[in-house]
């Protein structure tokens, strides 16, 4: 009986303590919405601008992040790139696995980085939703892309960094305004 009481008290303490430790983290619902803004791009010492659109919304028990980047090129041409990644809760608190393909059991799972696909995961720390993408290059090197999306009073700030084999390639900073609220 004493062992059962100790186990019960231990579980209650662990649950209460884990809740306190994560209390400063925003729930994913705080990020839901549409955000629009412009980014300043640093590459090889030069700066440029991009239009950004980010949508974060519920997806089953997790969430979806969609984003579009429009780059203006010389001569008035534009390049548009759009991405969409679904995330589901992992077994670890505050860490979300990407659900970019469906396995044979119908469950969304991450892609395989050893096949050249990006391995993507997300986490929430404080008011920041971070999405990491790791790519194993054909030569065995790696590339990491990190998107830190931090909630602000008017929307969110974005800090993006792309690193290859430990060497920074690109940094982008942006301020995005929440739309429709």
Q: What confidence tens digit (pLDDT) does each residue in 156-173 have? A: 999 999 999 999 988 889
Q: How many domains does the chain have?
A: 1
167 in any annotated domain = yes
Output the pTM of the full model: 0.78
Burial of 176 (0-12, 13-18, 19+ CB in 10 A): buried
Work out whether the CA dihedral 85, 109, 59, 178 comes out positive or negative. Answer: negative
19 in any annotated domain = no
How far apart, in whole angstroms, are the C-alpha atoms of residue 141 and residue 146?
Answer: 17
62 in any annotated domain = yes
Q: Domain residues for 67?
A: 26-179
- CATH number for the domain spanning 87: value is 2.40.128.20
145 in any annotated domain = yes
Asked if residue 8 has pLDDT above 60, the reply is no
18 in any annotated domain = no
Give 181's contacts (C-beta < 8 A, 6+ positions apart). Answer: 33
Asked if residue 107 has pLDDT above 60, the reply is yes
104 in any annotated domain = yes
């Amino acid at each position: 009986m004493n062992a059962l009481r100790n186990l019960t008290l231990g579980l209650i303490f662990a649950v209460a303590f884990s809740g306190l430790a994560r209390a400063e983290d925003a729930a994913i619902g705080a990020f839901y919405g549409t955000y629009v803004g412009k980014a300043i791009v640093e590459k090889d010492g030069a700066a440029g601008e991009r239009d950004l659109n980010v949508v974060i919304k519920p997806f089953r028990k997790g969430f979806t992040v969609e984003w579009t980047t429009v780059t203006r090129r010389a001569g008035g041409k534009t390049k548009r790139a759009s991405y969409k990644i679904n995330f589901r809760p992992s077994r670890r608190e505050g860490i979300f696995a990407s659900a970019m393909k469906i396995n044979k059991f119908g469950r969304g799972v991450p892609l395989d980085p050893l096949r050249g696909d990006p391995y993507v995961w997300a986490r929430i720390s404080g008011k920041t939703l971070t999405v990491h993408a790791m790519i194993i290059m054909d030569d065995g090197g790696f590339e990491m892309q990190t998107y830190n999306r931090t909630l602000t009073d008017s929307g969110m700030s974005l800090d993006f960094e792309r690193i290859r084999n430990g060497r920074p390639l690109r940094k982008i900073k942006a301020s995005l305004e929440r739309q429709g609220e």
